[in-house]
Chains A and B, each alone.
Chain A
Amino acid sequence: MKLTPTPAQTVGPFFGYALPYAGGEALVDRSHPGAVRLHGTVYDGDGVPVPDALLEIWQPDEHGVISQQPGSLLRDGYTFTGWGRAAVDGVGHFSFTTVEPGSTGDGVAPYFLVTVFARGLMDRLFTRAYLPGDPATLEQDPLLSSVPADRRQTLITTRESDGSLRFDIHFQGADETVFLNYPNTPQFTGPVD
């Protein structure tokens, strides 16, 4: 990197009239034959739901193809753009309607890339929400296998009895979500455990 990146600042409490938009949470229509609900709750360090968080997901389609089609902000109902945005509701719950991502290559376990913003959170956090699947396959995934076994589950969605995928996010605590840091992407946590 030749230039120093511009620092981040919190999304604050007042993004609700600016960033969420109609259809942001619906990457496909509910009537799509492959439609699945990806949902969960965002919790703070006291285990209290966070009512002012915003989530984005970015994913390949069911065949593992990464869309480069515009139209996420004004969906046409046919084009899969792969990106969605949803604010949590008053009880910290978010919900997307999408398709399950396909694998982008041999041995790559499929996942949604999830980005979290919130009041009180100074920079966005990245995590991955993997599809539940064969434990042997998941364990061979390069990222999952690099995460200590006792925290791996925080990166894997749970299949609910209604077929939906559940992915809760914990900023802190015993179930603290594994948040990711990428090369060339400076983030500073401040003091950590």
Chain B
Amino acid sequence: MAEKNTDPDAAALSQAEIDAEIAAIHGEYRAQRDAGGQVETNARLNFAPYRSSLLRHPTKSLHHADPEDIELYSPAFGHRDVSPLEADLTIQHNGEPIGERIIVTGRVVDGDGRAVAGQLVEMWQANAAGRYMHKRDQHPAPLDPNFTGVGRTLTGPNGEYSFTTIKPAPYPWKNHNNAWRSAHIHFSLFGTDFTQRIVTQMYFPGDPIFDLDPIYQSITDQAARDRLVATYDHSVSQHEWNTGYRWDIVLSGSNRTWAEQEEER
């Protein structure tokens, strides 16, 4: 891989060249999986079509650790930390933001299906023109003075969360020539164990850019990729107000001994 241009801003390759690299990796993955090999359920850290990963992935296998005390707990967050108003990204300014008003809702559960209750969910996103309120975002699309694009909430007793926001647009980036990201919302989640900590991205159904997006395609398995795509849910849409999307999030498995822990806490 030494010959690959590792400058993330080089934008040297064409979309066709990136597509071919993705297809080769996916093909190799499917062949080993179909031969009885491992089913991959997460993104790959070393995924060359995403150029910025080249110098930022570990080159050695991750080292197995048995979780000790601190790894079996997560920090606690409460209403001191998060105001209920932070879950509505459309009311943070004096006026209404431009764009398609949506509600994104779902449940956070762990790998055993237990609700993750009272835990912090953070999200951030581009506006309806594909522009972030971030000083390093140079995309010449308009900022919206009525939209920052940052939300926080605490999950309810059944792990439920809900954000009211604006549907983000796709935006260009410099991974390769004419590179575009599928429209997405960034999510950051905590579980009951710190080892369940995850940052990810939620996508919208039917995005025409999916196949061209090396970040989305860094998940080699189609079934795993599908887990990042919300579904349109008409029961979340509201008359003359918003359309609705549902996205449930499954954290990795807790390593606690739950029978004892539940008594204790």
Interface size class of A (residues with CB under 8 A): 35 or more
Smallest beta-carbon distance B69→chain A, Å? 4
Chain A residues numbered 58-104 whose CB sits less than 8 Å from any CB in chain B: 58-60, 66-74, 76, 81-83, 101, 104
In Å, the complex CA distance between A2 and B71 comes to: 21
Asked if B105 is at the interface of the complex by the 8 Å CB criterion, the answer is no
Asked if A137 is at the interface of the complex by the 8 Å CB criterion, the answer is no
Asked if B144 is at the interface of the complex by the 8 Å CB criterion, the answer is no
Q: Flag B37-52 by CB within 8 Å of A: 1 or 0 each.
A: 0001111111100101
B253 contacts A185, CB within 8 Å? Answer: yes
Known: A71-B81, A182-B67. Contact between A123 and B251, CB under 8 A?
Answer: no
Specify the main secondary structure of chain A where it touches its partner.
loop
Interface size class of B (residues with CB under 8 A): 35 or more
Asked if A120 is at the interface of the complex by the 8 Å CB criterion, the answer is yes
Q: Using CB atoms and an 8 Å cutoff, list the residues of chain B in contact with chain A.
A: 6, 8, 40-47, 50, 52-71, 73-82, 109-113, 120, 122-124, 126, 132-137, 148-150, 152, 184, 186, 188, 194-201, 215-216, 218-220, 223-225, 227-228, 249-255, 265
- Tell me which of B56, B76, B228 contacts A120 (CB under 8 A): B56
B81 contacts A74, CB within 8 Å? Answer: yes
In Å, the complex CA distance between A38 and B227 comes to: 37
* Across-interface contacts of B76 in A (CB, < 8 A): 67-70, 81
In Å, the complex CA distance between A15 and B186 comes to: 9
* Across-interface contacts of B41 in A (CB, < 8 A): 4-5, 7, 186, 188
* Across-interface contacts of B249 in A (CB, < 8 A): 6
* Across-interface contacts of B78 in A (CB, < 8 A): 70-71
- Among the 9-residue stretches A28-36, A156-164, A172-180, the one with 4 or more Cβ atoms under 8 Å from chain B is A172-180
